[in-house]
Structure 1
Amino acid sequence: MSFSLTPTHENAVGSRFCWFVPTRMPKRTIMGSSAHPTNDLNEVFTDNIIMENKITSIVSRPWNDLPMDLVESLLPHLSSVDALRFFTVCKSWNLASDSIQKAKTWPWLMYQEKSDGTCKLLDPLNGKEYTTSVGLPSSVFPIRMLCSKDGWVIVLDAAKAMFMVNPLNEDAVELPPLEGFDENFCGITFTSTPTSPDCVVLAFCADINGDIFFYKWHSEDEDWTFICDDESPPMHTASKTNPVFFQGEFYCLAETGELGIFNPVDKTWRMLHKLRPVYLEDEVPSPGIEDCYLLELDGNLISVFKCNYSNNDVRIIKLDTEKMEWIPVKDLAGWTLFLDPTGSFAKPSPHKNWSNKIFFTAFCSSKIKTCATYCMESKRYDIHFCDTKKPLDCVWLEPKLIRKRLMNAPC
């Protein structure tokens, strides 16, 4: 309710003031001398109380009474942390549409700073840092982060036990022991969230001869299934980047730009022989000279090759599935890339200042190895979004705005 000071005589000297309370009281006329003034005042007070209750009910309108189109329009403008709290306000907000839910999920850089069961989450866009519990006891730390996807991270503890954890809600799924995979390990990924009944985890390995073999685990399996075909084509230069689950199959990248595909249904492995490699056999850089990344961008597979020496050149190529060849990409067209061998993501740029930028978790120079951002337009590394003391064992975590069932939340 609002109040206004109104002078009784606008220009009078020493005029008095009074509080004026606007109401919608009906006009009452006392007809005849039989009307009792006390009863009339009581009716006026009663009307005032009723009006105040109506105004109070309007001012304290419940959250779930707000128009949902207005509520959903707010979500894309919230920070990731506030967006995670958004769905706990009330049950109506908890049911906000999935399209809005996915509108703003920027990857965070996740790394462990102490061996106490917690990890740090760094938002690279605004530099804010948060602390979260991974959902595992501190006795399993330190851990090695192997893969990140859909808000989940596959970690390996000091005792070689493997877990799938969600750092935002502290859920954890323990995987069966995978003995002896460390020597030939190339990458690991999964098809869907571990809580889904159709989740499949695939570990990708290659020996010194380039022979490929896999370990497959389904959510209902008690142990890993070893898959190896002696007649399958070799991949002599398998990169250390995780496979990408794309259109129902697992795509594995070689350092030369070759692609191998594993079909989890018929358990077959094949190489795309029609695909011309980025490098010929006599042009392949020595191991460690380049970092290779494979990811999906707007329905297409792209690869990023970054030289670790000289001028740290960056090349981006896109797979043309019709011509079966790699096509150079000069402009990201409003996208931002977040790259790491454990998991890479492509997101529409939140602002033109972030368009055509690539966030790397590993940047090598003559003195340091740290995180950096590469600008496609200026062709240089111009932003260091975290200090050089950060542990190098890190992953990009894509926060998912998970809607949990609210039992005791407001309606």
Structure 2
Amino acid sequence: MQVKPRLGTFTVTPKEAGGLILKLLEFAKGRVVRAEWRMTKVQLINNRGRIMKKQQSKKKRIQRNKAVTRSIPIDIVESVLMHMNPKDAVRLSTTCKKWRATAPRYDPTMSKTPWLLTIADDFYILQSIIDENMSFKIEIPSFLCGRKFISEASHGWLVLRSGQSDIVSLLNPFSRARLDLPALKHPGPLFLHMSSPPTNPNCVLLLVDAKNLYIWRSGDRSWNIEKNVNARYYTSTISFQGQFYAIVDPYYRLVTFQVLPLLVKKLDVPPPMDINDMMMYDVSLVESCGEILLVCIHLSLLYRADHDIFQFQHDIHDTTEHDVILFQLDLKNEIWTKIESLGDQTLLLKNNNNQAISISAREAKCCGDSMYFINHWSRDVYFMEKHSIRTVSRGSYSISRRFWITPNLI
């Protein structure tokens, strides 16, 4: 009996049903293939990205390997830096990261070890205290020629004065930074002290004349003047823990003072020796390892060194224990205590009220428990160690001034 189809329904034969199933399977297969292809495509894109990153990383490594500091043997880099003008060597370290990382390791002028700065008629010379044969000539900036002279060096900066004007300028010979200070109302004050580089917001610069103390702080637009101050009698001045300390002539008393407002306090610390004996010594205050030291060098020691230098420049002269005497300040008991050794420290001194410097001999790779001393009158430099003295650099009439200066880009 034949069945008639109802309205809204349909019938298929088994053959037609098999064909539909095959088509459905082919459709599903196509969908799966397309999904797999999309996944494969994503994987290919990701792999391509990883491959490109690896290639870029490899390219960067190759470029780094071809960089100056990698392609040139390190001993050549060291030789180049050590024979380069220190001013240019220091500035070279700011050109790129690689030189900035390399220069401090091999350029001796990048260390914190002070150098001897010699100012002659037409040139500057930087001389190493570690290697007596290492020196560099520095070109004098054009604006200095014939107009200004160097009065002192402090914290890597030169204090410039003009003989015909009331302008004081500060110059960093390594970074070439220059700072013109406000004009002085009364030209003529001499340098007394600078507590820190002028770029430090806490920097205080002190000048002094016969009657007044001139004070400049970083950012000031004018000089502050303290009148009727006996600062001209300060034979040696240092800054220590936010205060200034000075030895005062003629009785070698110790005073401490602050500025703005000016408060001077005379400490009840008697001289470490009889005053008549003290007059036979060149006296310098120096801050060393958190302590205040008083260094007394007998004037006859310098006379003997000067007298013999005309025969043998590097002769060694025996000294006695009384030629150089060291004292340490005991603030609590207000007394100077004699000490026998500087330990690891090396002192760099200069008479005529220059700021003394204390450095670690181990870090500077020089001799500990020793001193370098510049004679203001002869311009000679002496090295003193274990009761002996020798001349390491001889002065001449062409040398106008000599200072200790620490390379500083700040």
Normalising by the smaller structure, the TM-score range is 0.5 to 0.7
1:20-99 matches, within 5 Å, as 57=62, 60=65, 62=67, 81=86, 84=90, 87-88=93-94, 90-91=96-97, 94=100
More helix by share: 2
Q: Is 1:362 aligned to residue 375 of structure 2?
A: yes
- Matched with 1:295 is 286
Name the CA shift for 1:310/1:188 in 2 (closer, same or farther; >3 Å): closer
CA–CA distance in 2 between the matches of 1:131 and 1:97? 19
Q: TM-score, normalised on structure 1?
A: 0.64
Q: Is 1:191 aligned to residue 189 of structure 2?
A: no
CA–CA distance in 2 between the matches of 1:323 and 1:215? 32
Query: Do 1:330 and 1:376's aligned partners in 2 also have CA atoms closer than 8 Å?
Result: no
- Matched with 1:380 is 388
1:218-297 matches, within 5 Å, as 218-228=217-227, 238-239=234-235, 241=236, 243-255=237-249, 256-272=251-267, 274-281=268-275, 283-285=277-279, 289-297=280-288
Shift of 1:89: 5.6
Any idea what the Cα deviations from partners look like across 1:196-236, whole Å, max 9, x if unmatched? Answer: 444321224565xxxxx4211123333211114x7x8x679
**Structure 1 gaps, min length 5:** 1-49, 66-70, 208-212, 404-411
Q: Is 1:333 aligned to residue 346 of structure 2?
A: no
Q: Alpha carbon RMSD of aligned pairs, Å?
A: 4.1
CA–CA distance in 2 between the matches of 1:310 and 1:354? 20
Query: Do 2:168 and 2:180's aligned partners in 1 also have CA atoms closer than 8 Å?
Result: yes
Any idea what the Cα deviations from partners look like across 1:240-284, whole Å, max 9, x if unmatched? Answer: x3x212111122222544222221253211111x21223445555
Shift of 1:393: 1.7
Q: TM-score, normalised on structure 2?
A: 0.64
Matching residue within 355, 363, 370 for 1:343: 355
CA–CA distance in 2 between the matches of 1:383 and 1:304? 19
Query: What residue identity is the alignment partner of 1:201?
Result: L
CA–CA distance in 1 between the matches of 2:154 and 2:218? 16
- Matched with 1:215 is 214
Shift of 1:383: 3.2
- The percent identity for this pair of structures is 19
Secondary structure class of the residue paired with 2:62: helix
- Larger Cα-atom Rg: 2
- Matched with 1:314 is 324
- Matched with 1:169 is 175
CA–CA distance in 1 between the matches of 2:60 and 2:216? 61
Any idea what the Cα deviations from partners look like across 1:118-159, whole Å, max 9, x if unmatched? Answer: 42222232132222245461444451423x222112121222
Query: Do 1:135 and 1:172's aligned partners in 2 also have CA atoms closer than 8 Å?
Result: no
Query: Do 2:124 and 2:139's aligned partners in 1 also have CA atoms closer than 8 Å?
Result: yes
Any idea what the Cα deviations from partners look like across 1:45-76, whole Å, max 9, x if unmatched? Answer: xxxxx9xx9899288265799xxxxx9xx99x
CA–CA distance in 1 between the matches of 2:339 and 2:346? 13
Matching residue within 111, 114, 117 for 1:107: 114
1:386-397 matches, within 5 Å, as 386-389=394-397, 391-397=399-405
Stretch moving more, 353-362 or 131-140? 131-140
Name the CA shift for 1:136/1:245 in 2 (closer, same or farther; >3 Å): farther
Name the CA shift for 1:322/1:104 in 2 (closer, same or farther; >3 Å): farther
- Matched with 2:407 is 399
Query: Do 2:93 and 2:103's aligned partners in 1 also have CA atoms closer than 8 Å?
Result: no
Name the CA shift for 1:96/1:129 in 2 (closer, same or farther; >3 Å): closer
Query: What residue identity is the alignment partner of 1:157?
Result: S
Query: Do 2:130 and 2:365's aligned partners in 1 also have CA atoms closer than 8 Å?
Result: no
Report the count of equivalent residues: 319
Secondary structure class of the residue paired with 1:337: strand
